[in-house]
Structure 1
Amino acid sequence: MATFFLILIYLAFISLGLPDSLLGVAWPAMQPEFGARLDTAGVLFMVIAGGTIISSLSSGIIIGKLGTGKVTFISVLMTAAALLGFSYAPSLFWLVICAIPLGLGAGSVDAALNNYVATHYKAHHMSWLHCFWGVGATLGPIIMAQFISDQNAWRSGYFAIAGIQFALVIILFFSLPLWNKVGNRSNNVSNEAMDDTNTHVNESVKNTRPLKIKGVKLALIAFLFYCGVEATMGLWGSSFLVNVKQLPVEVAARWVSLYYGGITVGRLITGFVTLKVNNKILIRGGQMIALAGALCLLLPLAPVFSLVGFILVGLGLAPIFPSMLHETPARFGKEHSQTIMGYQMAFAYTGATFLPPLFGFIASHSTIKLFPLVIVIFVIAMLFGSEKLNQFLRKKPLSNVKSSVS
């Protein structure tokens, strides 16, 4: 049974990654058809990201009422319908409308499945789970590019990926009875002999605000700046290589792809490493490797060291995100983990949404040469939040609700 659910969750994470990079790939073909400005894609991206942040913040309440299985089913159904809407959208207005359920669906399923795996499976599964997200994020552009190369048919690309999502919706629908038996254990402290205790715990959880739990704010800082690093590297890395290191555009694109390759392959490898090394060491080690890579970009070295820097940052980032997610129940208790997971995902999306544009604004009023310095600052901020949290947990273990709430 556990293996079946793991396969189902892996498939869900592939589907979660499929739409993530579609807009950027399809927009050059979509823009002239709608007569839109280049920066309109940014508006759509912000709508999607806004929906994701909102659904992540509310995921604890929603999952508590519906359960992990139903939330996963409804969320994937929403994303499938949104992608189908994109394929038929007659105007920009309808693209914006369809972007709303696309974002709302992504946030809830992300938080739900991350918490389920963190609660029920060992650390290596979390790393491989996010590796499968990378598989989806890689397949999406490949599928879209195939359709765009054939008579610029971006609508057919969205339709095909919507079809893949609907196929998963059907699988999730027929698996709902099994989710009801097994998949919602993370939302219930399941032991009939402890009904009175559970009532007390659930009431305490209901009355506890996540930001009041000691250590949560430090964890949120780490998530904010982790995604700030990851997204800023991906968005502005090529511009830095072209404008500062004087590399050709196609070479810069390949170097940035190696950065993403470092994240994906790194997470695959991390899954095996977790069998011998705990999450805390993996998080700290990944942050130090990422910092070393950022320093390679910052120092006035030959361009080849920039390639080394990009790969090192990718490899360093690989274990951090899944390991921090997997540590959530251990850090704050299973009774709080679902709600806190939603907050962590919301802050992660906030970092990915707002920190890269913030740097873009700074660079446009100064210089893109600040890129390595900003990456170093973001990594140090992430390291600060993580290490301060470790220091707090060493001093005061969060053994119960009372000791963790200020």
Structure 2
Amino acid sequence: MERRNGGASTAVLAPIELDQVSKKQEVLPIASKMPSSAATSQERESTVPLNDRNGDLPSPNTVTERLETWNSPRRNIYRVGATFWSFIVMGMNDATYGPIIPYLEEYYSLSYLIVSLIFLSPFVGYNLAALLNNSLHLKLGQRGVAFFGPILHLISYIVISIHPPYPVLVIVFILAGVGNGFEDSGWNAWIGAMANANEVLGFLHGCYGLGATIAPLISTTMITKAGVPWYYWYYVMIVAAAIELVTSLHAFWSASGAVFREAHPRTADAGGSRLKEATFRRPAARVVWLSALFLLGYVGVEVALGGWIVTFMIRVRHGAAFASGMTATGFWLGITVGRLVLGFVTPRIGEKLAIAIYLPIAMALELLFWLVPQFYVSVVTVALVGFFLGPMFPAAVVACTKLLPKHLHVSGIGFAAAFGGSGGAMFPFAVGAIAQAKGVKVLQPIIVALLAIIWLLWMGLPRMARKQD
């Protein structure tokens, strides 16, 4: 059919086919099926835990979300400060093992193997935290982390300060490990999702290094210069944990489980446990397990070297007790400075490339430490090893935030951090067990081998782009 287009010289062809109307009506039966689809959705919702109901939302097509920063919203300033203090306490906790090992051996009349059990205890604690972390967030939110982490520290230090029989000491170190695991995973996941995460995580882990630096310094001075028993140091730890409990709980009191669930709805159609999704469903499982194994080896290197360095310097390098204790201070100081300085370098060249460069440098320095049997060379090289090891934990956390969707940040990063933290128990214990037969000189070849293994694990991670929301 042709009709005139007003006064114009053109004509508009407007074919009319009535059968097109009837074809459009064919859509109606499809729409009538929607109730059954809704029923299916209700059935699926019934399989999702009540405390994760909003986790059954479908994936959004586009997400434009403004990331939090360390000072926005304003309450984050106080909260970040509270997490910094928590990491100082965690660093003091982990770095205390090295300086007190020789005195535990003497006080309890222990062999290398038996005294190494204090390293194995946190292995149990960290793995318990890895399993419980996601449920703790869903039920109690960050408030739960802010309470259980410090209170477990406080209980542990009170018991240790009364110097109970050694088997009791081994058990209470498990509680300290659970507390560390909760805070390690919770605060890493929270800050790792912020803008400029590398820099802020650098300061967070720099605080861990600061705590690990001052602990050997103060504890060694108290024991060797003031002549007080080793357990007097834990009076200091009690005060630090009490401050941690008050500040953390006050800062995160409003961060309940409901607030956490609202802020972290699922962005995938899958239901069920987020931890199971992060650890058993690809592609997330590849990222989580590679990161967890990388952190397992890294933390093992960090704590084994920091934990046994004092004994190594006394028995193998024949250093004085105080000077050997200061070697541990130099190592942790190197880690602290490395996290602060290289934390600004790493994001500019990319996490993947940066760690691929830092690790071979650390291996070369560790070989120098091992093969040149001079006390002062060992002091300098172990501090430089610490410098290049420093940014690795923050970089792994940032890698996870880039490679995992937001709803898996807490479960995925929390599992990787807590599982990885158990390396700080497993490998130092292994060093002690082997040292029982071969001597503490086995420390260096074990460290070199671990550094090579974690380099291979790091290279297995996917290429990193921007963060996935």
Deviation at 1:271, TM superposition (A): 3.0
Q: Tell me the equivalent position of 1:174.
A: 250
Q: 1:292 aligns with which of 352, 364, 368?
A: 364
Q: Does 1:335 align with 2:404?
A: no
Q: Does 1:137 align with 2:212?
A: yes
* Distance in 2 (alpha carbons) for counterparts of 1:155 and 1:301: 33
Closer, same or farther: CA 205–55 of 1 in aligned 2, 3 Å: closer
Q: Which moved more, 1:7-16 or 1:230-239?
A: 230-239
Q: Does 1:278 align with 2:350?
A: yes
Write the letter of the residue equivalent to 1:54.
L
Deviation at 1:367, TM superposition (A): 6.8
* Distance in 1 (alpha carbons) for counterparts of 2:247 and 2:373: 52
Structure 1 contact 144–158 (Cα < 8 Å) conserved: no
Q: Tell me the equivalent position of 1:103.
A: 177
* Distance in 1 (alpha carbons) for counterparts of 2:310 and 2:105: 22
Structural RMSD (CA): 3.6
Cα deviation, 1:4-33, whole Å, max 9, x if unaligned, reads: 221121122112223223355456666666
Structure 2 contact 120–426 (Cα < 8 Å) conserved: no
Q: Does 1:83 align with 2:152?
A: no
Deviation at 1:327, TM superposition (A): 1.8
Structure 2 contact 102–311 (Cα < 8 Å) conserved: no
Paired residues for 1:2-401 under 5 Å: 2-26=76-100, 35-39=108-112, 40-88=114-162, 90-92=164-166, 94-121=168-195, 122-145=197-220, 148=223, 150=226, 152=228, 154-180=230-256, 185=260, 188-189=262-263, 200=269, 203=272, 205=274, 208=277, 210-212=279-281, 213-237=285-309, 248-249=319-320, 254-274=326-346, 276-297=348-369, 306=378, 309-362=381-434, 365=437, 371-390=443-462
Closer, same or farther: CA 333–308 of 1 in aligned 2, 3 Å: same
* Distance in 1 (alpha carbons) for counterparts of 2:77 and 2:326: 37
Closer, same or farther: CA 166–285 of 1 in aligned 2, 3 Å: same
3-state secondary structure, aligned to 1:132: helix
Q: 5+ unaligned residues in a row in structure 2: which ranges?
A: 1-74
* Distance in 2 (alpha carbons) for counterparts of 1:49 and 1:29: 22
Deviation at 1:111, TM superposition (A): 0.8
Deviation at 1:218, TM superposition (A): 2.3
Closer, same or farther: CA 118–377 of 1 in aligned 2, 3 Å: same
Deviation at 1:296, TM superposition (A): 2.8
3-state secondary structure, aligned to 2:394: helix
* Distance in 2 (alpha carbons) for counterparts of 1:365 and 1:76: 38
Structure 1 contact 282–320 (Cα < 8 Å) conserved: no
Cα deviation, 1:338-385, whole Å, max 9, x if unaligned, reads: 122233223323322222343454455557666544333221211111
3-state secondary structure, aligned to 1:285: helix
Q: Tell me the equivalent position of 2:22.
A: none
Q: Tell me the equivalent position of 2:70.
A: none
Q: Which moved more, 1:314-323 or 1:351-360?
A: 351-360
Q: Tell me the equivalent position of 1:404.
A: none
Deviation at 1:297, TM superposition (A): 4.0
Structure 1 contact 19–137 (Cα < 8 Å) conserved: yes
Identity of aligned residues (%): 23
Closer, same or farther: CA 369–348 of 1 in aligned 2, 3 Å: same
Q: Tell me the equivalent position of 2:33.
A: none
* Distance in 1 (alpha carbons) for counterparts of 2:275 and 2:404: 15
* Distance in 2 (alpha carbons) for counterparts of 1:14 and 1:88: 23
Q: Which moved more, 1:152-161 or 1:59-68?
A: 152-161
* Distance in 2 (alpha carbons) for counterparts of 1:28 and 1:304: 21
TM-score of the two chains, using structure 1 as the length reference? 0.80
Cα deviation, 1:76-117, whole Å, max 9, x if unaligned, reads: 112112212222355445434533322221211111111111
Closer, same or farther: CA 66–317 of 1 in aligned 2, 3 Å: same
Structure 1 contact 127–268 (Cα < 8 Å) conserved: yes
* Distance in 2 (alpha carbons) for counterparts of 1:54 and 1:214: 22
Write the letter of the residue equivalent to 2:452.
I
Deviation at 1:323, TM superposition (A): 0.9
Structure 1 contact 241–247 (Cα < 8 Å) conserved: yes
Q: Which moved more, 1:336-345 or 1:76-85?
A: 336-345
Structure 1 contact 62–71 (Cα < 8 Å) conserved: yes
Cα deviation, 1:219-256, whole Å, max 9, x if unaligned, reads: 23322221232233334556666776x55456655555
Closer, same or farther: CA 368–127 of 1 in aligned 2, 3 Å: same
More helix by share: 1
Write the letter of the residue equivalent to 2:209.
G
Write the letter of the residue equivalent to 1:170.
V
Please tell me whether Structure 1 or Structure 2 has the larger radius of gyration of its CA atoms.
2
Q: Tell me the equivalent position of 2:65.
A: none
Structure 2 contact 126–181 (Cα < 8 Å) conserved: yes
Structure 1 contact 53–345 (Cα < 8 Å) conserved: no
Closer, same or farther: CA 297–93 of 1 in aligned 2, 3 Å: closer
* Distance in 2 (alpha carbons) for counterparts of 1:271 and 1:376: 24
Q: 5+ unaligned residues in a row in structure 1: which ranges?
A: 401-406
Q: Tell me the equivalent position of 2:45.
A: none
* Distance in 2 (alpha carbons) for counterparts of 1:252 and 1:147: 15
